[in-house]
Amino acid sequence: MGDADPGDCERPFNRPAAVTTPTSSPALRLDGVSKSFRRETGESVLALDHISFSVDRGGLAALVGPDGAGKTTLIRLLTGLLKAESGVVTVLGIDAAKDPQAIQSRISYMPQQFGLYDDLTVFENLNLYADLHGVTSENRRTQYARLMEMTGLEPFQKRLAGKLSGGMKQKLGLACTLVRSPELLLLDEPTVGVDPLSRRELWEIIRKLVKEGMTVLISSSFLDEAEACEHVLVLNEGKKLAEGPPAEVSGLALGRTFLAQPPDGMKPRDFQARLLAEPDIVDAVPESGQVRLVSQAGRGSGTGIFGGVAAQPTPARFEDGFMVLLQQSGGAKPIDAKTLQPEEPLGGSRNESVVEVHDLDRRFGKFVAVDHASFNVKRGEIFGLLGPNGAGKTTTFRMLCGLLPPSGGTLTVAGVDVRRASASARQHLGYVAQKFSLYGQLSVGDNLAFFARAYGLGGEKKSERIAWALSQFKLEPFVRLPSAHLPGGFKQRLAMAASLLHRPEILFLDEPTSGADPFARREFWQRITALAAGGVTVIVTTHFMEEAEYCDRAAILDNGKLLAQGTPAELRARAPSEEGRTPTMEDAFIAIVLEARGKPAGKSGENPS
Amino acid sequence: MKSWSEKLRRIRALTLKETRQILRDPSSIAIGVVFPLMMILLFGYGLSLDITRVSVAMVDEDASSESAALIGAFRLSPYFGVTVVHSMAEAKKLVQNRKADGALLIPSDFSRRWHSGDAEIQILVNGTDPNQARIMQGYAQGPIAQWGAAHAGSSSSFPAGPVVVVDRMWFNENNDSHYFLVPGLIVLVMTIIGAFLTAMVVAREWERGTLEALFVTPMRAGEFLVSKFLPYFGLGMVGFLLCLLAGHFLFHVPLRGSLFLLSLASMTYLVVALGIGLLVSTLVKSQFLASQLAMLLTFLPAMMLSGFLYDLRSMPAFIRGITYALPARYAVALMQTLYLAGDVGSVIWLNLGILAAMAAALLAATRLATRKQLT
């Protein structure tokens, strides 16, 4: 315990932090850094492979890449909480291997789980960090006032942190790291699972801090957030794909991006599938009723005819560049719904409602998880439930599947009242939970065999369905592998394969794309498109707003309330249109939530007082 | 100088946070206060190793005045509840149905043979609980001897009065099992709060990622440990106080040693328990594993292998060898000595010394194992 106290940090908030070291040296720097981990099975996984990267003082840098890319490992190396195996990590001029405490005393870090104490109040959480950082009481007064104004937490000071909403928690987490002005701020995926509105507010705070001279490094799996930064490091499976200003990454797709209008009567997702099947297209994704596409490099940029339709050139986004990068490093492009093995379509009329929810209500004590929601879903539709964490999506799902009894309202699934006969209704359902819920120690083949039997399949039928699942989800190479050892994306595929063995009429997917890279997300939606074409009704939750574009209809949930529902076009129409661009689903979400929050609680909120 | 005041301020802030969490978390209160109370009541009232009012079915085939007097002697004894039945078959049925703990047969030739000096009675005890059976067998000697003594004078043909063995139990004159359960209970409660609860709360910080955020501050690993140590030490002392009060007011267990030494011994053992809890949670970093390990390493040995319930001397040598590695053994010896025998210097200083050495070693190991590092 006798260690000295090197970097002390009583510093007024507004004074620029960087005074102790010359401004010429970068705020952080990695030179050929590698780090590997040992899995439980004994095999070693390279989390970071010879990464070199630096961020200048006063800069705003982003670390982007899918889950498992090595983002968290890199940030932990910078905090000195992990030691690099090779290479040098330097933060604020200090070698992280030699004096991690000196770094830890001078930087601020918000881990993915925020580091808040749920059973302390907002104010007590702030005080704890202020005490740890040695903020004097005079500084505290000015600082807190500023933080409260910045985060809007003022009215909640006495509330327990555990009782805050996701967005509020995240802001409190940020406020705790800002009780004094750090020289470097490290944020690990601060925006995952929070609603677009909070996300927008958080970014405003970050921009303000950078303007004041703070250096900020933020990791994110939202690619659009990279565009807001000056400097970007793109990671994938521990390898550096690119580094530089985001425009450089977007530039890889320069002159190759187009927006195409689907032919009359064709759904954007079906048109996307058609485009993806074409050899000269690298990527296609539905966007605001159209399809955004990236063409192959060799193709002349002048000719804008794709899939028999004339497409308009459009500026390249970061994600387009990212897809080009992924293709360059891996060579593959997303699978398309067209080439997926078609199944014999399920029968039944397309106009029939297979899910009817009326006035659905669920309370846990005083807490209202789902507040009088009503919607219905027709056969073969893709229906999306959009909303941030805690909006009530999973609770709604559990009630639909008969796993949780509702507190009120009626629920009919596949013609059966789930409240009375959930067992028979479940025979028509497939459910993929948010967490991987298959047996990790069983092999891929054993898992499928188990679920086939659990659904009552046997003999010829059983082997036939398992063979179908293995080929459809490209799981053949892994038949004998224990499923716990599957790479992330394949686990999700296996879970989906298992849920489809009994050919359910209705498939429920809870946050299937959370944390997945854009490539895996494209493939996932292609499979869903193919299923819907075969007559399967799909109900899916997501916090990626743009994924609503794949849906026939979607509902927007916030704080347990179903705020709006309709086709993607109807929802988008609720957003104010800005000049020069069509509103996105995220704009629509924000507009709808703001509208709902702005109105008084009663429905007829116009009574004069 | 300044760095020391900073250190103290950080420790104060962390300790305050920990205390608030204990007060607000129902599970800490449950384990820290409700659990000791439950143990006190359970061990105090539920698990008494004494047997009172053993129900015995008596079959009187003799039907003489002597046999009636013998039955009367049993009726007068506070240790027996007597049911008189008419046949052995009936008595057997009562024992089988657990309505009686044993049977006593006075054979038809009892009075005749008594006068000739070789009377026999048959005692049948339910052997499914050997401990109880043995005690009952012993108890039965009491009324028989009493009866024998009373009749000795009245009968001229009886050669001499039977030899009556007078037992005297030292240190636990009332032969009351609370006398040795209460001291052991203190050890058990300290174990739960010190090792089990502490292991859980530190592992929880690892699991919830709060420690990761705390680590990237000027806080030192040692300061974190001190802030975990202090509040749980306080909570452990609350548990100690509860046991002390219960022992005195509910079970009237006399404290023959000094209160000071008893407190000192309890605190030393509490430090050992806290050391184990902190070390376990630092090493495994998962609440589930930490709680299982703490249970296995501390609670179960404290119950089974400490001399709390079972006599160490009657264990096989190998098992007895293991008990020397268990801190609870020394603590139970200390507590029982202090409560029942008094300040016996040689016993106290040896056991206290061993516990103090264990405490120091555990704290040092914990400090070394706690690194501001993730793996």
DSSP string, A340-381: SPPPPPP-S-TTSEEEEEEEEEEEETTEEEEEEEEEEEETT-
Domain's final residue, options B120, B154, B188 = B154
Q: Is residue A522 one of the residues assigned to a domain?
A: no
Helix, coil or strand: residue A148: helix
pLDDT tens digits, residue range B71-113?
888 888 877 888 888 888 888 888 888 788 888 888 888 888 8
pLDDT value of position B49: 58
pLDDT value of position A491: 84
Minimal CA separation from A214 to chain B, in Å: 17
Q: Does residue A254 share a domain with residue A229?
A: no
- Cβ contacts of B106 within 8 Å, gap of 6 or more: B58, B59, B60, B61, B62, B67, B70, B71, B121
Q: Does residue B229 share a domain with residue B81?
A: no
* Sheet architecture: strand order including A86-91: A44-55, A28-38, A86-91, A94-95
Q: Does residue B325 share a domain with residue B227?
A: yes
Q: Distance between the two ends of chain A, CA-based, in angstroms?
A: 64
Cα B298 to Cα A428: distance, rounded to the nearest angstrom? 51
Chain B positions in Cβ-Cβ contact with residue A129 (cut-off 8 Å): 217
Winning range, highest mean pLDDT, from A116-120, A300-304, B43-47, B166-170: A116-120
**Other beta carbons less than 10 A from residue A503's beta carbon:** 17
Helix, coil or strand: residue A294: strand
Asked if A85 is an interface residue toward chain B (Cβ–Cβ < 8 A), one would say no
C-alpha triplet A588, A589, A591: angle, nearest 5°: 65
pLDDT band, residue B61 (cuts 50/70/90): confident
Q: Which residue has the tokens 């060799």?
A: A298
Q: Does residue B235 share a domain with residue B137?
A: no
Helix, coil or strand: residue A271: helix
Into how many domains does chain A fold?
3
Helix, coil or strand: residue B161: coil
Cα B223 to Cα B15: distance, rounded to the nearest angstrom? 9
Cα A528 to Cα A521: distance, rounded to the nearest angstrom? 11
- Residue B283 exposure: Cα atoms within 13 Å on the Cβ side: 15
Q: Does residue B192 share a domain with residue B59?
A: no
Q: Does residue A262 share a domain with residue A174?
A: no
Q: Is residue A383 one of the residues assigned to a domain?
A: no
Q: Is residue A211 one of the residues assigned to a domain?
A: yes
pLDDT value of position A246: 93
Q: Does residue A263 share a domain with residue A204?
A: no
* pLDDT higher than 70, residue A590: yes
pLDDT value of position B29: 83
Q: Does residue A38 share a domain with residue A163?
A: yes
Into how many domains does chain B fold?
2
pLDDT band, residue B48 (cuts 50/70/90): low
Q: Does residue B292 share a domain with residue B259?
A: yes
Cα A572 to Cα A587: distance, rounded to the nearest angstrom? 8
Winning range, highest mean pLDDT, from A221-225, B9-13, B316-320: B9-13
pLDDT tens digits, residue range A339-387?
665 677 777 777 788 899 999 999 888 888 899 999 999 998 999 998 8
pTM of the model: 0.78
Residue A114's φ and ψ, nearest 5 degrees, are 70, -35
Q: Does residue B200 share a domain with residue B59?
A: no
CATH number, domain containing residue A169: 3.40.50.300
Q: Does residue B96 share a domain with residue B127?
A: yes
Q: Which residue has the tokens 């339709």?
A: A309
* pLDDT higher than 70, residue A497: yes
| Encoded amino acid at B312, one letter | L
DSSP secondary structure letter of residue B61: S
Measured over the CA atoms of residue A211, residue A161, residue B217 and residue A193, the dihedral's sign is negative
Q: Is residue A257 one of the residues assigned to a domain?
A: yes
Radius of gyration in angstroms for the set of CA atoms belonging to chain A, rounded to a whole number: 25
Cα B53 to Cα B145: distance, rounded to the nearest angstrom? 18
Q: Is residue B171 one of the residues assigned to a domain?
A: no
Domain's final residue, options B154, B189, B205 = B154
* pLDDT higher than 90, residue A3: no
Q: Does residue A253 share a domain with residue A175?
A: no
Q: Does residue A224 share a domain with residue A76?
A: yes
Query: Which residue from B192, B207, B223 is spatially nearest to B370, judged by alpha carbons?
Result: B223
C-alpha triplet B163, B166, B171: angle, nearest 5°: 165
Q: Is residue B357 one of the residues assigned to a domain?
A: yes
Residues of chain B whose C-beta is under 8 A from some C-beta in A? 2-3, 6-7, 9-10, 12-14, 17, 20-21, 24-25, 208-210, 212-220, 222-223, 367, 372-374
Q: Does residue A264 share a domain with residue A209?
A: no
| Encoded amino acid at B252, one letter | H
Q: Is residue A458 one of the residues assigned to a domain?
A: yes
Cα A230 to Cα A208: distance, rounded to the nearest angstrom? 14
Minimal CA separation from B236 to chain A, in Å: 22
Q: Does residue B75 share a domain with residue B12?
A: no
Q: Does residue A304 share a domain with residue A268?
A: yes
Largest CA distance in chain A: 77
**Other beta carbons less than 10 A from residue B1's beta carbon:** 5
Chain B positions in Cβ-Cβ contact with residue A173 (cut-off 8 Å): 213
Does residue A426 or residue A374 have the better pLDDT?
A374
Q: Does residue A205 share a domain with residue A70?
A: yes
| Encoded amino acid at B277, one letter | G
Q: How many helices (H) and strands (E) does chain A have?
A: 18, 25
pLDDT tens digits, residue range B170-193?
555 555 667 777 888 889 888 988
pLDDT band, residue A16 (cuts 50/70/90): very low
Q: Does residue B359 share a domain with residue B261?
A: yes
Helix, coil or strand: residue B298: helix
* pLDDT higher than 90, residue A123: yes
In DSSP terms, A364 is beta-bridged to A367
Q: Which ipTM was obtained for this model? A: 0.76
Q: Does residue B113 share a domain with residue B249?
A: no
Residue B263, H or E segment: helix B259-284
**In the A/B pair of chains, how many CB contacts fall below 8 A?**
101
Helix, coil or strand: residue A571: helix
Does residue B318 or residue B310 have the better pLDDT?
B318
E-only strand ranges, chain B? 54-60, 80-85, 102-106, 122-125
Domain's final residue, options A180, A211, A239 = A239
Q: Is residue B127 one of the residues assigned to a domain?
A: yes
Domain's final residue, options A488, A503, A518 = A503
* pLDDT higher than 70, residue A594: yes
Domain's final residue, options A503, A538, A553 = A503
Structure tokens that stand for A448 in this block:
């499928």
Contact call for A120 and B17, based on CB within 8 A? yes
pLDDT band, residue A307 (cuts 50/70/90): confident
pLDDT tens digits, residue range A523-562?
889 889 988 888 899 999 988 888 999 999 999 988 889 9
| Encoded amino acid at A461, one letter | K
Asked if A132 is an interface residue toward chain B (Cβ–Cβ < 8 A), one would say yes
Asked if A305 is an interface residue toward chain B (Cβ–Cβ < 8 A), one would say no
pLDDT value of position A54: 92
Residue B138 sits in which domain range?
Answer: 54-154
Q: Does residue A85 share a domain with residue A229?
A: yes
Q: What's the mean pLDDT in A577-600?
A: 79
Q: Is residue B167 one of the residues assigned to a domain?
A: no
Q: Is residue B335 one of the residues assigned to a domain?
A: yes
| Encoded amino acid at A126, one letter | L
Residue A280 sits in which domain range?
Answer: 249-330
Minimal CA separation from A126 to chain B, in Å: 11
- Residue A559 exposure: Cα atoms within 13 Å on the Cβ side: 10
pLDDT value of position A604: 35
Does residue A424 or residue B330 have the better pLDDT?
B330
Q: How much of chain B exceeds pLDDT 70, in percent? A: 89
Q: Is residue A609 one of the residues assigned to a domain?
A: no
Helix, coil or strand: residue A408: strand
Q: Is residue B329 one of the residues assigned to a domain?
A: yes
pLDDT band, residue A513 (cuts 50/70/90): confident
* pLDDT higher than 50, residue A417: yes
Winning range, highest mean pLDDT, from A8-22, B12-26, B195-209: B12-26
- H-helix segments, A20-151: 71-79, 100-106, 122-133, 137-151
* pLDDT higher than 60, residue A608: no
pLDDT tens digits, residue range A441-462?
899 999 999 999 988 888 899 9
pLDDT band, residue B60 (cuts 50/70/90): confident
C-alpha triplet A436, A441, A442: angle, nearest 5°: 90
* pLDDT higher than 70, residue A437: yes
Q: Is residue A63 one of the residues assigned to a domain?
A: yes
Q: How much of chain B exceeds pLDDT 90, in percent? A: 28
Does residue A296 or residue A125 have the better pLDDT?
A125
pLDDT value of position A339: 67
CATH number, domain containing residue B101: 3.40.1710.10
Q: Is residue B161 one of the residues assigned to a domain?
A: no
Q: Which residue has the tokens 């004494």?
A: B50
Q: Does residue B64 share a domain with residue B108?
A: yes
- Cβ contacts of A22 within 8 Å, gap of 6 or more: none
Q: Is residue A269 one of the residues assigned to a domain?
A: yes
Q: Does residue A310 share a domain with residue A232?
A: no
Does residue B154 or residue A494 have the better pLDDT?
A494
pLDDT tens digits, residue range A87-109?
999 999 999 999 999 999 999 99
Q: Does residue A79 share a domain with residue A224?
A: yes
pLDDT tens digits, residue range A165-196?
777 888 899 999 999 889 999 999 888 767 78
Q: Does residue B103 share a domain with residue B21?
A: no
Measured over the CA atoms of residue A551, residue A557, residue A558 and residue A562, the dihedral's sign is positive
Q: Is residue B162 one of the residues assigned to a domain?
A: no
Mean pLDDT in chain A? 84
| Encoded amino acid at A105, one letter | S
